[in-house]
Amino acid sequence: MGSERPKASHDVLIDDERVRVTRWDFPPGAETGWHRHGMDYVVTTLTPCAFLLEEPGGAARRVDMEAGASYRRDEGVEHNVVNAGDRAMAFVEVELK
Tens of pLDDT, residue by residue over 36-76, are 999 999 999 999 999 999 999 999 999 999 999 999 999 99
Look at residue 24 in the predicted model and tell me its pLDDT.
Answer: 98
The single-letter code of the amino acid at 58 is G
Nearest CA to 35 out of 7, 70, 62 is that of 7
Burial of 91 from C-beta contacts in 10 A (0-12 / 13-18 / 19+): buried
Mean pLDDT score across all residues of the chain? 96
Which pTM does this prediction carry?
0.94
Look at residue 2 in the predicted model and tell me its pLDDT.
Answer: 44
Task: Assess whether pLDDT exceeds 70 at residue 85.
Answer: yes
Task: Assess whether pLDDT exceeds 50 at residue 97.
Answer: yes
